[in-house]
Amino acid sequence: MSVSPISRTYAGALYELAAEEGIVEALLKDLEALSQALPGELESFLLSPKVPLARRQAVLDELFAQAHPRFLAFLQLVVRKGRAGLLAEMAEDFRLRVEASQGRIHGLLESAVDVDEDLRGELADSISKTFGKTVQLETRTRPELLGGFRVRAAGRLLDASLRTRLEALRKHMKAAAVTQS
């Protein structure tokens, strides 16, 4: 998931506050509950221009009555500022900040075919050494890559896919043909 600068700003402010007050784990738990509730009706409800702001805020108060007061204040602010559509991104960015503070990062390995456990482990070890953090690698099969793999971790992309290499070759040949004429 790509995170917008606005989402990073909100999540960063929430994380800094949580770290100062020692409530990171409590807010992470509340954000995870929000992430589970968001897709579908709740998100549509929060984004609906037909629903008055006061009604949206009242529903959040009811749904998250057991949540930490700082979390509820954060939710109310986000909704009041018209940023409810970014809540999932904010929750993801907050989670990534927590993982980074604990010396962990999340990575995504995409490959054209299923990757065996040995190769997955080797790639995770290599990425861990590069960033000096433990990497949790999620894997996805993407046949459209044709061959090779892509790894995304800590905001970086390593693209060793056949599709990308063929596209680069095509561009190179096209540029050479233009200079030949």
8 A C-beta contact, residue 111 and residue 139: yes
Report phi then psi at 23, rounded to 5: -120, 25
User: Which residue segment(s) compose the domain that 120 sits in?
Assistant: 103-180
Indicate if 93 and 112 belong to the same structural domain. Answer: no
Give the pLDDT confidence score for residue 1 in this predicted structure. 56
Indicate if 24 and 92 belong to the same structural domain. Answer: yes
Is pLDDT of 2 > 80?
A: no
List pLDDT tens digits, range 11-70. Answer: 999 999 999 999 999 999 999 999 888 888 888 999 988 999 999 999 999 999 999 999
Indicate if 118 and 93 belong to the same structural domain. Answer: no
Give the residue with greater pLDDT, 158 vs 2: 158
pTM of structure: 0.66
Residue 78 is part of a domain; what is its CATH number?
1.10.520.20
Residue 113 is part of a domain; what is its CATH number?
3.40.30
8 A C-beta contact, residue 7 and residue 88: no
The C-alpha atoms of residue 40 and residue 26 are separated, in whole angstroms, by 24
Which string of DSSP letters, residue by residue, matches 4-23?
Answer: -HHHHHHHHHHHHHHHHHT-
Domain count within the chain: 2
Indicate if 49 and 108 belong to the same structural domain. Answer: no
